[in-house]
Structure 1
Amino acid sequence: MSVPSVPEPVVSMGGLLPAVARAAQIVGHDDDVRILPEEVAVLGRVPQARVWEFAAGRTCARRAMRALGLPASPILIGAHREPVWPRGIVGSITHCPGYCAAAVALEQDLAAVGIDAEPHEGLPAGVLETITSPAERAALEDLPSRPVCWDRVLFSAKESIYKARFTLTRTWLDFTDVFVTVHSSGGSFHGRLLERVADETVPAGFDGCFVVGAGLVLTAVTVAGARPLQSGVGDR
């Protein structure tokens, strides 16, 4: 079985993205995590763990923006709790215990970016049945057995697809609005929107890739072309 992986403790979100995008990540602790005053004002009163999570995500985003040669601007919060990117930028932020990452690109290069990070472990009991169709579950059963937790890969793939599509439509999908096929060799997946949520102004299908390693599942989706609507992608 050819499953994309990286030697522990190294994982790379950047390796899942096209050359026109940039990513930054934090694995474990980072003493240089910062939150800007403008961001503090919009975050409000939240638990300290959420402050750290928020600050780490914004720190990664600014590092990725600097890698594109852009100024490290504040990244505020939109009406849907999504990061509000500076004009001309699309991006995505993700975090899970012990890991945080952000990916950005210029609007002229990509229409949308969606990334997600998950712990590499099976989904809690009952979750898979909630987020998938019987046909999706049957397809997962045809994949090679462990060491890969394919249910978690599929969950993460859907998250990345939802974030990318949100950039284009400013609306969220339900987990069962997209049918995802995971390919065990080559580390790729494809998501097909169901007819009930199809929108002729945006793609009906999304292609992405994944990597498994260091106790993590990382997924990424990008959409080529200029973005038609205002910037913003969810930070779920």
Structure 2
Amino acid sequence: MIGLVLPPGVLHRSAYGGELDHAPLHPEELPAVARAVDKRRREYAAGRACAREALGQLGIPPGPILRDPHRGAPQWPDGVVGSITHCDGYRAAAVARSSDMLALGIDAEPHAALPEGVLDAVLATDAERARLAELAGSAPAVHFDRLLFSAKETVYKSWYPYHHRMLGFHEAELLLHTDPGVTDRGGYTARVLVPGPLLAEGVGPDTFTGRWAVRDGLLVTAIAVPAGRAA
């Protein structure tokens, strides 16, 4: 599923249902979920298993994927960018060489409306609200509110490794669009509304572009910033 929104050069592994929920964790990973409920432990184990298999496609031997001590983001081997996501019935990881991709963020969500009241916490600008209303009229079968939430998660995941602080929903303006002639896939542009460091020489952190798709009760979103090219 996540492969629908990733470009060449990004390797990935998905797991459906409980396929990898009981995969063994590396001993160094165990403290991160020592006090977690069973659901969280299973998600964590499956996500790490997906990540190790994706890294294996890069020729990297299996090892621990530890958490950032501040925000819990995965810590990837040197020379690698990556991202992990999970929701009910689906887990996925994506990785790439940092020589190929500067930043990478993926997210998966159930294709359903956001709980009441959450959308107001996600919206950043009047332009976002107007775009959601426009899309809802042209493609009513797609839950664009949930899609907006998911896409903003990918902005945070792509941005965090360079800034190491939380990026709030209101700190990025995201405009979605559908592909011509279809309503179940498309792209988005995200404009970060706070300053941050360059991703690379001449490549600023202020604008990201991503892809989204809806299929089989899931929606997936991804940002992948190619090395040597503006976001």
What's the secondary structure of 2:44's corresponding residue? helix
- Alignment match, 1:222: 224
Cα distance change, pair 211–55 in 1 and its aligned pair in 2 (3 A): same
Any conservation in 1 of the 2:163–2:196 contact (CA below 8 Å)?
no
- Alignment match, 1:169: 163
- Alignment match, 1:134: 126
Distance 1:215 1:101 in 2: 16
- Alignment match, 1:16: 5
- Alignment match, 2:183: none
- Alignment match, 1:96: 87
Distance 2:226 2:114 in 1: 31
Distance 1:105 1:209 in 2: 17
Structure 1 residue 176, shift from structure 2 partner: 0.7
- Alignment match, 1:199: 196
2:52 matches 1:55? no
Any conservation in 1 of the 2:103–2:225 contact (CA below 8 Å)?
yes
**Higher RCO, 1 or 2 (CA under 8 Å, sep at least 6)?**
1
Distance 2:8 2:224 in 1: 11
Structure 1 residue 81, shift from structure 2 partner: 1.1
Residue deviations 1:113-155 (CA, integer Å, cap 9, x gap): 1000011001111111111033211111111132111111111
What's the secondary structure of 1:108's corresponding residue? coil
- Alignment match, 2:15: 26
Which shows bigger deviation, 61-70 or 29-38? 29-38
Structure 1 residue 203, shift from structure 2 partner: 2.1
Distance 1:103 1:43 in 2: 22
Structure 1 residue 200, shift from structure 2 partner: 5.2
Letter in 1 for 2:7: P
Any conservation in 1 of the 2:65–2:76 contact (CA below 8 Å)?
yes
Distance 2:179 2:108 in 1: 20
Distance 1:135 1:216 in 2: 26
Any conservation in 2 of the 1:43–1:77 contact (CA below 8 Å)?
no
Letter in 2 for 1:122: A
Distance 1:117 1:95 in 2: 6
- Alignment match, 1:212: 214
Dislocated runs of 4+, deviation >6 Å: none
How large is the RMSD of aligned CA atoms in angstroms? 1.5
- Structure 2 length normalisation: TM-score? 0.87
Distance 1:84 1:213 in 2: 30
Cα distance change, pair 130–51 in 1 and its aligned pair in 2 (3 A): same
Structure 1 residue 44, shift from structure 2 partner: 2.5
Any conservation in 1 of the 2:163–2:197 contact (CA below 8 Å)?
no
Residue deviations 1:58-85 (CA, integer Å, cap 9, x gap): 0000111111222122101111211111
Structure 1 residue 214, shift from structure 2 partner: 1.0
Distance 1:106 1:200 in 2: 21
2:61 to 57, 60, 71: 71
What's the secondary structure of 1:173's corresponding residue? coil
Which shows bigger deviation, 93-102 or 198-207? 198-207
Structure 1 residue 34, shift from structure 2 partner: 2.5
Letter in 1 for 2:170: T
